[in-house]
């Protein structure tokens, strides 16, 4: 792929939101209002929140586990597709339209935007879970050039007709990496904390800057919470592959640069 | 809108499929295989089939009726969005991708493709049901020019954040009319019969050609089945507004031109 000179690339903001916003209509509405005000090209990636679990319960389905790991069996995949690609995605898109943001909801199957492969594991069959192998950067940038704001749910496909449940944090970093060929990409992970904490018990212990060396030290000390590890791995992976800036914090940080949050650097 | 000279317009095939295909995986797969072989620009519109009713039952929801008319209350709208825009739409898209057709699933909210307004009725509040008021022809043709095959479900939005359940036959005719500014559009309604029947009890009584005069005569005689009336109204509406050709028949007619079917003419 032809990489334009960094200085000539326009900027793009890619924001990932998770369950804490998705499950709270007031927080979601406030977030979308802020998101609609981000200037320039932007992309949204959303997780699923509790809606899939709730729907599964309503339908009397039991979540499946093997060795404590959650399995996406066929009924659970259908529920993920219904809630993530259907209910959540389309309601976010409709709300953004009301805010004059021309959003377009996409799964990885649409325009073959994100191709993944069923996760291989010698010990456990995780079911219909996919790991990203390709992003259709050409079509994605074409949409963005036409003033579309893509809104991705965490469903991808394998190119052979199979939909796959995929980690939303990983989708965000993979999209950011592909888009960095065309844009200076700022990747923002929004979650329920102000940032990466040096003490998981103390919400005020936000680390303002964390580089890969700090990360190793904090991991070795055991200060970094287990759920934080894959998230930070995604951040460093994005930075090592062309993404300009990566930060983590509360949803408010997407507009208000005075808020406390964590910036990740290599 | 600038209307190109008819002879210079490329052709486009718009196919609408309903529940009889959606609810039958074997029929759907055969149809999609045929659909993928249609040459040139194409668009698919799909109905919902029985999946929404089935999901409602599984969730213990009762369909709501007023004066025998089905009402789309808020829980039923959520179910329609989940099944039509989620489960059905994304599975069709994934299957078309496997057939080398670069499909993109769309609701009317995506790219504000179809704006509708909540149905007004002095006597009955039909709930979250919308009638089409605008189609975003510019963005739709841009996608098609980029070799995308749009796949529409029957969910639209009002532009103010509200999703609306919308008749799939009407979506097909409205899309066909807008696309006829840019293309010579062939609109094909696929359903469970070989075509319009002169005797609803006799499947062999297919009328090969029906014009508006015939239609009036058949309606006056009571030969045309009640469910057929809105479908044929959509056909004549499309033909009166720029659509080149309209036909109705079994799904097989999209490829095999030797099959019996009904052609509608003004």
Give the residue from A44, A54, A49, A43 showing the smallest Cα distance to A25: A49
pLDDT in tens, A161-214: 999 999 999 999 999 999 999 999 999 999 999 999 988 889 999 999 999 999
Interchain contact, A139 vs B148, CB within 8 Å: yes
What pLDDT score does B173 carry?
A: 98
Return the DSSP state at A120. P
Name B247's Cβ contacts closer than 8 Å, sequence gap at least 6: B186, B187, B188, B189, B195, B253, B261, B262, B263, B264
| Residues A42-70 as b or e (16 or more Cβ within 10 Å = b) | bbbbbbbbebbbebbeeeebeeeeeeeee
- 8 Å CB contact between A89 and A135: no
pLDDT in tens, A221-244: 888 877 899 999 999 999 999 999
Please indicate, yes or no, whether the overall pTM of this predicted structure exceeds 0.90. Answer: yes
d(CA A187, CA B204): 62
Which class for A206: exposed (0-12), middle (13-18), buried (19 or more C-beta within 10 A)? middle
Interchain contact, A85 vs B89, CB within 8 Å: yes
What would you report as the CA-atom Rg of chain B, rounded to the nearest whole angstrom?
Answer: 18
Alpha helix (H) ranges present in B37-136? 51-58, 74-80, 89-98
- 8 Å CB contact between A152 and A45: yes
Q: Which of B86, B94, B111 sits opposite A87 (nearest CB)?
A: B86
Residues of chain A with C-beta less than 8 angstroms from the C-beta of B155: 90
pLDDT in tens, B11-26: 999 999 998 899 999 9
Alpha helix (H) ranges present in A81-167? 89-98, 137-145
Give the residue from B119, B120, B126, B122 showing the smallest Cα distance to B69: B126
d(CA A97, CA A90): 10
Answer whether residue A128 shows pLDDT above 70.
yes
Chain A contact probe: residue of B36, B59, B89, B97 with most A CBs at under 10 A: B97
């Amino acid at each position: 792929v032809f990489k334009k000179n960094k200085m000539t690339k326009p900027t793009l903001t890619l924001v990932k939101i998770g369950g804490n916003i998705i499950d709270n209509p007031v927080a979601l509405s406030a977030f979308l209002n802020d998101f609609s005000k981000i200037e320039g090209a932007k992309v949204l990636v959303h997780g699923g929140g509790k809606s899939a679990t709730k729907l599964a319960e309503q339908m009397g389905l039991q979540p499946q586990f093997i060795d404590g790991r959650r399995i996406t069996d066929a009924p659970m995949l259908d529920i993920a597709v219904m809630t993530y690609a259907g209910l959540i995605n389309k309601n976010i898109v409709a709300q953004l339209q009301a805010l004059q943001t021309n959003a377009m909801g996409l799964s990885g199957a649409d325009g073959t935007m994100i191709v993944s492969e069923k996760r291989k594991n010698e010990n456990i069959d995780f079911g219909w879970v996919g790991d990203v192998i390709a992003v259709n950067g050409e079509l994605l940038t074409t949409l963005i050039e036409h003033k579309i704001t893509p809104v991705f749910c965490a469903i991808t496909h394998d190119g052979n007709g199979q939909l796959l449940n995929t980690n939303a944090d990983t989708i965000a970093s993979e999209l950011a990496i592909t888009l960095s060929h065309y844009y200076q990409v700022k990747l923002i992970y929004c979650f329920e904390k102000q940032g990466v904490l040096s003490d998981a018990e103390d919400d005020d212990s936000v680390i303002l800057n964390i580089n890969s060396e700090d990360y190793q030290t904090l991991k070795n000390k055991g200060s970094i919470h287990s759920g934080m590890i894959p998230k930070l791995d995604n951040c460093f992976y994005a930075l090592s592959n062309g993404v300009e800036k990566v930060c983590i914090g509360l949803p408010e940080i997407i507009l208000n640069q005075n808020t406390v949050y964590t910036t990740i650097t290599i």
